[in-house]
Every structure is written in structure tokens, then in C-alpha cells.
């Protein structure tokens, strides 16, 4: 104090390395100090984190359901097939030539040719109108090329494109794509996906408010302490720190609870799902939360906890000034 | 160390807490600030600690114009002032040790140094051995001494005390004043606001008297 300016911060006057170590150590201490404060009121902490957990479990659970549905419908894409009904005048050899030509297209996995005679036989066998058909002088059925696209070309858009291409071959009379229902399913799933995103955004906001409000109450409860800190030279950053770490813990625990809830629900569901898919002779297996999704879930939760407390602290800490 | 130049403080309500106050306290001096309740003692201390800002005139602390200290810099400024309150302002959910260590933790001292300094400060106020107690279990005089230990633990060059003996009996009050004298003797500037006239007249220090926000008397027996 011999010079004009007061000494800034005696603690940081040592070597930069020591200062950094002291700084990190302080952060670590505050991290565990705030954990200690939370553990002193376990019931209140559990209530808050459970609310966060349930709020985050909802969109996470829906995400898992959606992912499974996508996996399931991915298997149905193979069912997309294009039927080319050829003109009545087209002869067998011309039809085979066309079939070979189409087979060479990169989007096409395989082509099968059903001649007019085969079509009639099949129809007679399957329809039960065999005798009635005998009465006809002429075979009324066209020959058909049945085309299965490759998995890569099985998306609604790609199949649609392929359909338009095939339609332009001269021998083709009618080209028909039998996947309207697949398209509808995709649209419905897209709708659900958007719904999940909106729901997730709303619930994230709810988590922010829950954490913000909890931290606001914590700040009010510790008003006296904050005043004392400010009186003896605590910076805003110093005073803010324990509250931010409290938000961090809320986020972490909330994320873990959400993960537990989703995992538990999946375990409960896995048995009936297995029985159901067994009835459909399907190999489908319910997939849970993978590591990446879990990471995103818990990371988001922590981020929401931190942001919520940051907002509360920024809003309310300034109001508390020693008088 | 402290220089007031035509300093006034008017609160938004229109009340003039201080009017045209000028005085100078050199470094290392000990002085009493006295006057009736509402005379402006607390306001004057608040201006020094930057709990309030002056409306007119200048306050220089250690050559630094307080008007030029931004809100962000206030915490760093306050670390150079030890403040002692009538109501102690201790944290009752923390031990004596943790209370006294708080200014050092805020300033970022390493743990080992903190232990050394806290014990030294508690030794000075005669509370060594009570580190682990909680303030609530201590007597009023002992609580006040914890407050003093906290104020001096990071060796500030300036010590402010607002009615430090307000709730204490005469004997304890004398003990407290004696502690302040000791700090003054090692070069700390000490300004004590009190209305305990009986006590200060027995001590050989400068007395600043406020009345209605104005400095009406300034006596220094050493001059």
C-alpha cells in the first residue's frame, strides 16, 4: 500500500503455475463443497433432480421408441417394388431384352419377368376364377416386370425417380409403385420426430425454469452469506461459483435419473415386445440408449443445469448488496 | 490514508447524511469517529468501504480516488480494508476457523498459508484453540473478536470498525479497544466509529465528532 494503487489480488501474485494450481484446487473444492451442501438436504435434492430426470426421460424415451420404429420400417423398405405392366403387343423376347436392360440400372437389385401365360396361370391358381377364365377366348392379362430397387434406392424419393425413368421405356404401358403406405409411414414418423423435438424443447425450458427457481431460492436462503462475501471482497465470480456448481450437480443427477428411467422402461417393455415380434416371425430386437445418446442426454442435462443456475445467479446476485 | 474533501452524501430520499466533510488521516493513525445516532458515522464508513458513493466532493483512500473505482473493481479494493461490524456479520454455519479463513480463500491463498495466517490472527485476538467452535457457541465478546480476526487476517493497511463495542460491557470494550491499539502500533490505520464517549475519553487518540452530517469537532491530544 506504499504505492498509489492498492494491491490487486495477493493470491495471484505468485508464479503463474502456482496461481493456476490454486485456482483449479479452489474450483475442485467448490465443486465438492456444493455437492456437500446438496447432500445435507437429500430429500429436496432428490425432488429437484427427479423433476429434471422425468422431464428429460420423456423426450429421451420417445427418441428411443422412434429410433426403434425407424429400424423396423427400414426392414420394410425392401418391400417397395415397382410393377411394369407391358403393352399387350410386346412379345416375350422383347420383354426379356427390356428386363436385362433394366437389370443393368444401378438402382435395381433384381428384375423378374412374368409372361402373359404365367400371369394367367397364377391368376387361375390364386383367384379361384379358373373355370371362368377358360371361357375367355383371349388371355386378358398383360406381361409384367417386377422390379426390386437396391436398399440405397429404396427411399420414397429415389423409388419415385426410378419409377419415372422406367415409365418412359416404350414397351411399358403402366408403371405402378406399391408403396403409398410406406410413404405415409415416413410422413407420420417425420411428424412424430418433429413432435419429439418440440416436446424436448419445451421440457428443456421446463428444466431451465426448475433449476433457475431452485437456485433462486438457494440464493435467497444464503443472502446473509452473500452479503458477508461481498463485504470482505468476494468478486461476483467467486460468489457465483458454488451456485453454478450446484446447477451442474442438479443437471448431472437429473441426467442420470432420466437415463435410469428410460433404461428401466425399456427393460419392462422388452419382454412383451419380444413376444409380439415373435408372433410376426420378426428378428426385431428392441435397442436401448447407446453410449452416444447417453452422452448427449447427460451432457444436455448438465448444460441445462448450468444455464439455469447461470440465469438465476445473473438475475438475483446483483440485487443483493451490503447496506 | 483517508482524505475527505468537501464530501457530501445525499440519499435518494433527500436526506443529507453528510454535508461538506473534510479531514485527513495519515497512515498508521488511530482515531475515533463519534456523534449521536444518525449523525452520519455509518455513512462516512460506508463511503470509505464503497458501500455507498459520495454525492459531492472527493474521497481518497491511500491516494486512490474512489469515484474512479468501477463496480467490478470494488471487491479488490475492499480486500485492502478490514471491516468490523457491530453485529459481527459472521457465518453461523461455519466454524471460527472457516469464518476467519474466508478473506484468504477469496483472495486465493494456498491452503498451508491460510492455516498459518488464521492461527496468527486468532492468536492476536486471544481465541487460539477455538478454531473448531461454531460462532453461536461463543460469547458476544468472543464473536466480536472472531470478526476482528477475520478483518485483520489478510493484513489490510486500513481497519474500519462500526460500533465494535456496542453490545459489550465496559471491561470487554476496553479489551477490544486494546486490540485495535495493538494494530495501530504496527502501522495499521484504524478508524473506530462509536458513541461510547466514556471509553474514548480515557484513550489518547484523535476524535472526530459528527453532528447532523457535519464535522463539528476534531481534537487530537497528541498535537
Sketch the domain layout of chain B as residue ranges.
Answer: 28-53+75-219
Cβ-defined contact of B110 to A22 (cutoff 8 Å) = yes
- For the purposes of burial, counting CB atoms within 10 Å of the CB of B182, is it exposed (0-12), middle (13-18) or buried (19 or more)? middle
Q: Please report the pLDDT score of residue B95 as a whole number.
A: 94
Give mean pLDDT, residues B80-104: 92
Cell numbers for A302: 448438465
Domain residue ranges in chain A: 28-75+184-316, 81-178
- CA dihedral in degrees (A222, A8, B190, B66; nearest 10)? -90
Q: Please report the pLDDT score of residue A3 as a whole number.
A: 39
B107, B82 in Cβ contact below 8 A? no
B168: pLDDT confidence band, cut at 50, 70 and 90?
confident
A84, A177 in Cβ contact below 8 A? no
Q: Please report the pLDDT score of residue B54 as a whole number.
A: 93
Q: Domain spanning B28-53+75-219: which CATH class is it, in words?
A: alpha beta
pLDDT over 90 percentage in chain A: 31
Note the maximum CA span of chain A: 121
Cell numbers for B17: 447524511
CA distances from A278 to A66, A203, A215 (A): 20, 35, 50
Nearest to B77 among A6, A26, A228 (CB): A6
A77, A156 in Cβ contact below 8 A? no
Return the higher-pLDDT residue of A101 and B83: B83
B173, B189 in Cβ contact below 8 A? no
Residues in chain A closer than 8 A to B89 (CB atoms): 224, 227-228, 231
Structure confidence by residue, pLDDT tens digits, A48-57:
999 999 999 9
Nearest to B103 among A26, A232, A321 (CB): A232
Return the higher-pLDDT residue of B80 and A81: B80
Place of cell 491460510: B114
Given a cut of 50, the residues of chain A with pLDDT beneath it are: 1-12
User: Is pLDDT of B215 > 80?
Assistant: yes
In angstroms, the separation between the Cα of residue B206 and the nearest Cα of chain A is 23
Least confident of A118-122, B184-188, B215-219: A118-122
Q: Please report the pLDDT score of residue A312 as a whole number.
A: 93
Q: How far is CA A32 from the centre of its chain?
A: 33
Beta-ladder partners of B65: B60
- A111: nearest Cα among A98, A124, A121, A122: A98
Confidence check on the interface: ipTM exceeds 0.85, yes or no: yes
B9: pLDDT confidence band, cut at 50, 70 and 90?
very high
Closest-CA residue of chain A to B62? A4
Give mean pLDDT, residues B122-140: 91
Q: What is the 3-state secondary structure (H, E, C) of chain A?
A: CCCCCCCCCHHHCCCHHHHHHHHHHHHHHHHHHHHHHHHCCHHHHHHHHHHHHHHHHHHHHHHHHHHHHHHHHHHHHHHCCEEEEECCCCCHHHHHHHHHHHHCCCCEEEEEEECHHHHHHHHHHHHCCHHHHHCCCCCCCCCEEEEEECHHHCCHHHHHHHHHHHHCCCCEEEEEECCHHHHHHHHHHHHHHHHHHHHHHHHHHHHHHHHHHHHHHHHHHCHHHHHHHHHCCCCHHHHHHHHHHHHHHHHHHHHHHHHHHHHHHHHHHHHHHHHHHHHCCCCCCCCCCCHHHHHHHHHHHHHHHHHHHHHHHHHHCCCCCCC
Least confident of A104-108, A126-130, B64-68, B172-176: A126-130
Q: Which fold has domain A81-178?
A: Alpha-Beta Plaits (3.30.70)
The length of chain B, given as a count of residues: 223
Structure confidence by residue, pLDDT tens digits, B35-53:
988 889 999 999 999 999 9
CA distances from B121 to A272, A273, B75, B116, B148 (A): 70, 70, 22, 9, 9
Q: Please report the pLDDT score of residue A1 as a whole number.
A: 38
Interface of B with A in 176-195 (CB under 8 A): none
Return the higher-pLDDT residue of B168 and B68: B68
In angstroms, the separation between the Cα of residue A221 and the nearest Cα of chain B is 12
Amino acid at each position: 500500500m506504499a504505492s498509489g494503487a492498492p494491491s490487486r489480488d495477493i493470491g495471484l501474485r505468485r508464479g503463474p503455475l502456482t496461481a493456476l494450481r490454486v485456482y483449479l484446487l479452489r474450483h475442485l473444492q467448490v465443486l465438492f463443497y456444493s455437492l456437500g451442501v446438496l447432500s445435507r438436504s437429500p430429500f429436496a435434492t432428490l425432488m429437484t433432480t427427479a423433476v429434471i430426470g422425468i422431464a428429460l426421460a420423456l423426450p429421451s424415451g420417445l427418441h428411443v421408441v422412434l429410433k426403434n420404429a425407424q429400424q423396423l420400417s427400414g426392414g420394410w423398405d425392401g418391400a417397395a417394388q415397382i410393377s411394369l405392366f407391358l403393352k399387350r403387343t410386346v412379345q416375350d423376347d422383347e420383354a426379356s431384352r427390356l428386363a436385362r436392360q433394366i437389370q443393368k440400372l444401378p438402382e435395381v437389385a433384381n428384375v423378374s419377368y412374368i409372361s402373359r401365360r404365367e400371369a394367367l396361370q397364377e391368376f387361375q391358381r390364386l383367384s379361384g376364377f379358373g373355370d371362368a377364365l377358360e371361357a375367355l377366348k383371349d388371355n386378358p392379362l398383360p406381361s409384367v416386370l417386377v422390379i426390386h430397387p437396391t436398399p440405397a434406392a429404396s427411399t420414397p424419393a429415389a423409388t419415385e425417380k426410378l419409377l419415372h425413368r422406367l415409365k418412359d421405356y416404350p414397351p411399358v404401358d403402366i408403371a405402378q409403385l406399391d408403396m403409398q403406405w410406406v410413404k405415409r409411414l415416413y410422413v407420420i414418423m417425420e411428424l412424430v420426430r418433429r413432435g419429439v423435438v418440440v416436446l424436448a424443447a419445451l421440457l428443456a425450458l421446463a428444466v431451465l425454469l426448475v433449476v433457475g427457481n431452485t437456485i433462486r431460492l438457494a440464493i435467497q436462503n444464503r443472502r446473509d452469506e452473500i452479503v458477508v462475501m461481498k463485504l470482505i471482497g468476494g468478486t461476483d465470480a467467486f460468489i457465483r461459483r458454488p451456485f453454478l456448481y450446484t446447477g451442474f450437480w442438479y443437471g448431472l443427477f437429473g441426467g442420470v435419473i432420466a437415463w435410469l428411467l428410460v433404461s428401466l422402461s425399456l427393460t419392462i417393455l422388452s419382454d412383451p415386445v419380444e413376444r409380439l415380434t415373435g408372433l410376426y416371425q420378426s428378428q426385431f430386437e428392441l435397442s436401448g440408449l447407446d453410449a452416444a445418446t447417453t452422452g448427449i442426454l447427460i451432457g444436455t442435462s448438465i448444460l441445462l443445469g448450468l444455464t439455469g443456475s447461470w440465469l438465476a445467479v445473473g438475475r438475483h446476485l446483483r440485487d443483493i448488496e451490503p447496506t | 490514508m483517508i482524505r475527505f474533501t468537501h464530501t457530501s452524501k445525499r440519499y435518494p430520499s433527500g436526506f443529507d447524511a453528510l454535508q461538506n466533510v473534510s479531514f485527513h488521516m495519515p497512515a498508521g493513525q488511530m482515531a475515533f469517529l463519534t456523534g449521536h445516532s444518525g449523525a452520519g458515522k455509518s455513512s462516512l464508513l460506508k463511503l470509505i468501504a464503497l458501500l455507498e458513493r459520495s454525492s459531492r466532493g472527493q474521497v481518497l483512500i491511500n491516494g486512490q480516488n474512489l469515484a474512479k473505482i468501477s463496480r467490478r473493481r470494488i471487491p479488490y479494493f475492499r480486500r485492502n480494508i478490514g471491516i468490523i461490524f457491530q453485529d459481527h456479520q459472521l457465518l453461523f454455519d461455519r466454524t471460527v476457523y472457516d469464518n476467519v479463513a474466508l478473506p484468504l480463500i477469496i483472495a486465493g491463498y494456498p491452503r498451508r498459508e491460510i492455516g498459518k495466517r488464521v492461527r496468527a490472527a486468532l492468536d492476536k485476538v486471544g481465541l487460539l484453540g477455538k478454531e473448531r467452535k461454531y460462532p453461536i457457541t461463543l460469547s458476544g465478546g468472543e464473536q466480536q473478536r472472531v470478526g476482528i480476526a477475520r478483518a485483520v487476517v489478510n493484513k489490510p493497511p486500513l481497519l474500519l470498525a462500526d460500533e465494535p463495542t456496542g453490545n459489550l460491557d465496559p471491561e470487554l470494550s476496553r479489551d477490544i479497544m486494546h486490540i485495535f491499539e495493538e494494530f495501530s502500533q504496527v502501522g495499521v490505520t484504524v478508524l473506530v466509529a462509536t458513541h461510547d464517549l466514556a471509553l474514548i475519553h480515557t484513550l489518547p487518540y484523535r476524535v472526530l465528532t459528527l453532528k447532523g452530517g457535519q464535522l463539528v469537532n476534531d481534537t487530537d491530544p497528541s498535537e
